[in-house]
Amino acid sequence: MGRWRWLVAIVILASPATAAAQRLTTADCLDCHKEPTLTEEVGGRTISVFVDPRIFRASAHGLLDCTDCHADVNDYPHQPPPQRVACAACHPDVQQSYDQGLHAQARRRGDTRAATCLDCHGQAHGIRPTDDPQSPVYRTHIPRTCGRCHSQKFVMEPAGLSTQPFFSYQESVHGRAVAAGSMKAAVCTDCHRSHDVRPPSDPQSTIFKFNVPRTCGQCHEKIAAEFMESIHGQAIRRGNWRAPVCTDCHGIHSIKSHIDPNSPVAAQRLARTACGQCHEGVRLSQEFGVPGRRVSTYYNSYHGLATELGSRVAANCASCHGVHNILPSSDPRSTINKNNLVNTCGKCHPGASEKFVSGRIHADTPISEDIGSIVSFWVRKIYLWLIVLIIGSMALHNGLLWYKKAVAHRDAQERPIIRMTRQQRIQHVILLTSFFTLVITGFALKYPDSWLAWLLGESEAIRRVVHRAAGTVLLLLGIYHLGYIVATREGRESWRALRPVKRDFSDLIDTLSYYMGRRSARPLLGAFSYVEKIEYWALIWGTLVMGITGLMAWFEVEVTHFLPRWTVEVALTIHFYEAILATLAIFVWHFYHVVFDPHVYPMNWSWLDGRVSAEHYRREHPLAYQEWVRQRASSGHGGERRLGSPSTSMESP
């Protein structure tokens, strides 16, 4: 009978129920799992199941037994393999929050890169408390932890997101402070929360537009309270989407200190980069009756002009309207209420009186019932007409005098030498007209707000058509000129004379040496010096470059049938800078030689009648002048002879 009792006891102890009662301890598990080489086959993959005892005991879970998390592990060997640990078993509230966030939604859509508990909190057996400086979610480590995903394009771009917010935050006032060790500066989780990270379109998100003031107010409580009492805060409470919140003025991730010159709320940038986003256009005027053009009228005022010139003390928007406590002028608490203006202006203008503050601050404001505005309107209108009439009359008077005296000066000179033939003068006039038409219309197209565009009217279509017509004329002239130098004797002679030769370089050096006082005499130049040759070949080069790039821009759709789109963009860039180069070359190089040179002032008349004086020719082209003298002597009379070559005036680029 005794033997039967022992047999029953052995059977009971060997049963599963009894084995379960003898629960495995952490020490039991670590007997095997402390071996670095320990692996298991899970899902067809060999994985390491090594657990460092020191790391585990220092972790937030170090006081727990392994089976507190691995509840399905009863004995060894583990068959079937243990299930993945569910953090929700101990952290149900956190799991519920996580499930409502963007990361959980992404994983439900199949995005395996979306963050899970271990991605943020660290390795499973080494999770540390949030107040542990070695924890990945320790306050100053949070930006770096989030950045492990949010700084990687291969993670963010497939999800339709950008990595820029992470890098912007690093350069922000918050990011720099955290990097310096601040425990108070905002980190990612302060604005986005820790587990239920939601998109800004979600009304429950901390970064939903109407929730932003409350979110920022977690740190900036006093400022948030002021803001919510302001005209902007009142509009936010009414649900007005157009009203600005903190991030509209300060930025989102790239927030900078107000004393940083690159900050949108820096004193010298405030009007354009912050207030001007809403108060310059007409949308607020149309929707809510708020006056527009506040920025342009500010910059037309003394304060704005002084700010543009670099003043650090001139008043800006915030100086008068306040910073976060902005209120309408009708509110007795407003800094621009008529009863408070003396104090407001007196901050910069001590002794300001009621009469001093009664003037207008924003210049060029529309006419109103104010007597000063009405008088200023009519004074401005009268003066504009006076300026046009008086200065126009003066210009007409002096223009007539200049023309008469210039013609008299021209006629007083004997000009027997024909420098430009009629054929060449016609080409030059067409070139001159088409070139300056291209310059005016081209820059008007590039700068539609400039005075050049104003002169041509408001129609972009007219500027475009005229520009293309002038370009077509210039290209046709180039083709005609090519035929002229091939098919006519006159053209062939000019072409041969205009070809660059080695002597041109030495003439340039010798001329510069003479005018610098290092040479006693000027070099003897022929009918075409290096000056004319530079202009002529610059004209050919410029016409080719401007023609090709202009046609590429004109027919961009056809061009992209056989060239990539970026080539058109490069062509437009070349077109623009070549235009600047050509225009400056005309004014700096060509106009000097045909207008501002003291020997030819007020102008070289050969572009009109083709003639120059013998004295001018002897001085500027001595070798050609000597040839002219020989031809004249051999002819036996003093008659005129054509030199058969285009003039300096014709070869302008």
Report whether pLDDT(421) > 80.
yes
Please tell me whether residues 399 and 450 are part of one structural domain.
no
Report whether pLDDT(442) > 80.
yes
Q: Is residue 285 part of a domain?
A: no
Please tell me whether residues 476 and 392 are part of one structural domain.
no
Q: Is residue 264 part of a domain?
A: no
What 3-state class would DSSP assign to 202?
coil
Please tell me whether residues 572 and 497 are part of one structural domain.
yes
Report whether pLDDT(645) > 50.
no
Report whether pLDDT(312) > 90.
no
Give the pLDDT confidence score for residue 43 in this predicted structure. 65
- Pick the range with the lowest mean pLDDT from 360-364, 414-418, 603-607: 360-364
What 3-state class would DSSP assign to 32?
helix
- Can you tell me the distance from the alpha carbon of 322 to that of 131, in angstroms, rounded to the nearest whole number? 40
Please tell me whether residues 482 and 521 are part of one structural domain.
yes
Taking residues 247-252, report their average pLDDT: 96
Predicted confidence band of residue 136 (pLDDT cuts 50, 70, 90): very high
Report whether pLDDT(366) > 70.
no
Q: Distance of CA 24 to CAs 30, 77, 80, 584, Å?
A: 10, 12, 17, 89
Give the chain's domain count.
3
Q: 241, 171, 180: which is closest to 210 by C-alpha?
A: 241
Taking residues 487-501, report their average pLDDT: 93
Please tell me whether residues 394 and 467 are part of one structural domain.
no
In the chain, % of residues over pLDDT 90: 66
Domain that includes residue 26, residue range: 9-81
DSSP for 560-583, please give it: TTTS-HHHHHHHHHHHHHHHHHHH
Whole-prediction pTM value? 0.69
Report whether pLDDT(512) > 90.
yes
Give the pLDDT confidence score for residue 11 in this predicted structure. 41
Give the pLDDT confidence score for residue 429 in this predicted structure. 96
Please tell me whether residues 386 and 438 are part of one structural domain.
no
Report whether pLDDT(486) > 60.
yes
**pLDDT tens digits along 4-46:** 333 433 443 444 444 444 678 888 888 888 888 777 776 667 7
Q: Is residue 431 part of a domain?
A: yes
Pick 14 or 223 by higher pLDDT.
Answer: 223
Long-range own/partner contacts, residues 27-35 (CB < 8 A, 24 or more apart):
29/66, 29/67, 29/73, 30/56, 32/76
Q: Distance of CA 199 to CAs 88, 172, 584, 651, Å?
A: 23, 21, 53, 65
**pLDDT tens digits along 615-643:** 999 999 999 999 889 888 887 655 444 44
Give the pLDDT confidence score for residue 123 in this predicted structure. 86
DSSP for 41-104, please give it: EETTEEEE----HHHHHHSTTTTS-HHHH-TT--SSS-SSPPPPP-GGGT-HHHHHHHHTSHHH
Q: What DSSP designation does 110 have?
A: T
Q: Is residue 364 part of a domain?
A: no
